[in-house]
Structure 1
Amino acid sequence: MPGVVTFDTDRMFAPLLGRRGIGLAVSGGADSLALMLLVAEWASHHPTPPIFVYSVDHGLRPEAADEARMVATEATRLGFAARALRWDGEKPDTGVQAAARAARYRLMAAAMAADGADILLTAHHLNDQAETVLMRLAHGSGIEGLRGMDRLGFAEGCLLFRPLLDVDPADLRAIVDRAGLIPADDPSNRDSDYERVRWRQELPQLAALGLDGRRLATFALRMNELDDLVTIDTDTAQVRLLRLPSASEAALPHADFSALPRPVAVRLIGRVLGTIGGDRKPHALGALETLCDRLGPVAALKRTSLHGCLIASDGTTITIRRETGRRGAAVMPEATEAVGDNVTRN
């Protein structure tokens, strides 16, 4: 049929073979319904692990319970086990989408543990990736953030797999329309009070200027490749330069550290501060860059503090010590942790 996009589901879902069980996050929207249909097509000609469909009623809209039931009905029709989950309890006055996202993944992680599933598929697609890149660019992210979402990641104890990151949402909607399904419509996806929605609304204007979802996703891929190189160089520098006299202290040779390429130096000092200071929140990139600038090749640094650490240099050795009362991380990470997914919808 002209204009119909076909999908190589064997390639798309190849990483799932050998898993103990597969979870699908299905909200009832067009994107996640299309994911469920694609998985059903793949499962129809493969011996697959058990597949479980999870739909979450966040208790924020009266329609959500019916949407969860619709998902369960369609999942059962396709031969999948289905669970309708609910986020009970009080909801925050602010940051509702972020809290709902965290609750959603917590609920699904618990359901996966009960069902024996060890990977969760989400329907994040090309435009979700584009929105993520734009948001992070506006927030001043470095390459670690501008790589966007990874195909594999973690959230609230869930191992996530995002097989649709290079798929246009219009092609996903076409799959649902051909199947005769009516997707759920969540009005929050059009609510401009949310930053992600504002960027979503700007995508057509950006596309008219040549900056469409595909180009932004390609940019993210290139940042991913560059980030991998920085990670490799940071791992090498960490092994070569870092000394840990105790769990609350680190030391680096000043001259060798200041000779590192700036992205590597920034990444390395961020790792050290995270371990010694015990602050697991992401470090502000600008603050790390400023610190590296102050630790330049000709400068000693009497003392400064950042992220729960005291940093000083006599021009020969940089010392990083935990501030009193801080609890440090137990192990120095061997590599940069995967960037978290900050997408707020399925």
Structure 2
Amino acid sequence: MPGELIDSEAIFAPLAAFRRVGLAVSGGPDSLGLMLLAAEFAGRHAVHDRFIVYSVDHGLRPEAAGEVAYVTEAAGKLGFAARALRWEGPKPTTGVQQAARRARYGLIADAMLADGAEILVTAHHLADQAETVLMRLAHGSGLEGLRGMDYFADVAGLVVVRPLLDIDPADLARLVAGSAFRPAHDPSNLDTDYERVRWRQLLPQLSALGLDSRRLSRFAERMRDADQALAQLAAATATSLDPATGTRKIARAVLARLPRAVATRVVAGLLDDVGGRQKPHDLQPVEALTDRLRMEPALKRTSLHGCLVSSDGVTIVVVREAGRKAARNSRVRTEPPVTRN
């Protein structure tokens, strides 16, 4: 039984406020485990109609159509409604996983809107979190990135919930092994052309040195706490906005008095606001710009993240760089693609 390995009540009871819940199920051991946990919870509370399963065929492997069909059949046996979705049209030759991820969430979002589902639950787990933290550390992320994946996230306007982030994938695999269902295995999860796979294969060696998934997850939690503290301090720092031009200003003396980490967060926020909230970047250039703004008496215009930044020694001014289009959507906390769940 699922409850002997993982407490389904702890997974789904916190989502009671949502009237209809989507489950992202690819057919792999992680997402099949998620569906089995949902079935146990739904059976205990007689709420099968609250759940609907979504499975996407990306059209990248001939086996995928059969895997999706298997998922929908399994969902029916467990008492759930299910939708089989397919990514149609030409596929990119590069950035395939990222494009597939965007397509998957887009297809599911459209289906959820039609079905009245409010949130999408995914099977991202403890090892996925560890891989994400390692990748972001390697990419030079600051606290905002090192906090890893959040329990709740907004992905292109879709509310995604990850209740298994503290669950060992080995327990999910054991749960599925003890069921009547057989998991699919995507060969891309072993393809070392993908960075995430390389980190995944390195995890056992890191674990042997004491840096296992659980420690990396705790590290992410501490980074999340620190990130929230920095965000509050940065939000309390006075800046001004010219609504007509979108120009932002801050007194150089104010920036100079702040601790470096808070000052860097303030500058990053100014660049986000003016530049149109582009995707997150390596933190090092923002740190370098912040140091210059704090230490140099004046700064001629310099460009970063779609913005022109200057200082006359008294006031720091951030304006949008000419020719840059600003996407005014709110920041989506994105993660490197995970395809195995």
| TM-score exceeds 0.5 | yes
Of the structure 1 ranges 72-81 and 280-289, higher mean CA displacement relative to structure 2 is found in 280-289
Of the structure 1 ranges 130-139 and 281-290, higher mean CA displacement relative to structure 2 is found in 281-290
Distance in 1, matches of 2:306 and 2:88, equals 35
Structure 1: gaps of 5 or more residues? none
Distance in 2, matches of 1:116 and 1:279, equals 29
AA paired with 1:268? V
Asked if 1:111 is matched to 2:111, the reply is yes
Distance in 2, matches of 1:5 and 1:205, equals 29
SS of 1:312's partner is strand
AA paired with 1:341? E
SS of 2:173's partner is helix
AA paired with 1:57? D
Distance in 2, matches of 1:72 and 1:80, equals 9
SS of 1:324's partner is coil
Q: Could you say which residue in structure 2 is the equivalent of 1:28?
A: 27
Shift of 1:29: 0.3
Residue 155 of structure 2 contacts residue 333 of structure 2 at CA under 8 Å; is this kept in 1? no
**1:231-273 C-alpha deviation (Å, 9 max, x unpaired):** 1111111xxx201133321110101112112222112112211
Q: Could you say which residue in structure 2 is the equivalent of 1:184?
A: 184
Count, aligned residues: 337
Shift of 1:327: 4.3
What's the TM-score once normalised by structure 1's chain length? 0.92
Distance in 1, matches of 2:308 and 2:22, equals 44
Q: Could you say which residue in structure 2 is the equivalent of 1:120?
A: 120
AA paired with 1:282? P
Shift of 1:133: 0.6
Residue 242 of structure 1 contacts residue 251 of structure 1 at CA under 8 Å; is this kept in 2? yes
Cα gap change, 1:131 to 1:329, in 2 (>3 Å): closer
The partner residue of 1:292 within 287, 290, 293 is: 290
Q: Could you say which residue in structure 2 is the equivalent of 1:317?
A: 315
Distance in 2, matches of 1:264 and 1:105, equals 34
Distance in 2, matches of 1:279 and 1:8, equals 39
Q: Could you say which residue in structure 1 is the equivalent of 2:6?
A: 7
Distance in 2, matches of 1:12 and 1:26, equals 16
The partner residue of 2:240 within 216, 224, 243 is: 243
Shift of 1:202: 0.7
Distance in 1, matches of 2:187 and 2:96, equals 14
Q: Percent identity?
A: 56
Residue 155 of structure 1 contacts residue 341 of structure 1 at CA under 8 Å; is this kept in 2? no
Q: Could you say which residue in structure 1 is the equivalent of 2:67?
A: 67
Of the structure 1 ranges 196-205 and 279-288, higher mean CA displacement relative to structure 2 is found in 279-288
Shift of 1:328: 4.6
Cα gap change, 1:317 to 1:119, in 2 (>3 Å): same
Asked if 1:163 is matched to 2:160, the reply is no
Shift of 1:21: 1.1
Matches within 5 A, 1:210-225: 210-225=210-225
Q: Segments of 4+ in structure 1 off by > 6 A?
A: none
AA paired with 1:180? A
Of the structure 1 ranges 303-312 and 192-201, higher mean CA displacement relative to structure 2 is found in 303-312
Cα gap change, 1:230 to 1:5, in 2 (>3 Å): farther
Q: Could you say which residue in structure 2 is the equivalent of 1:342?
A: 336
Cα gap change, 1:181 to 1:105, in 2 (>3 Å): same
Shift of 1:325: 3.2
Shift of 1:71: 0.5
The partner residue of 1:264 within 245, 248, 262 is: 262
What's the TM-score once normalised by structure 2's chain length? 0.94
Structure 2: gaps of 5 or more residues? none
Asked if 1:92 is matched to 2:86, the reply is no
SS of 1:164's partner is coil
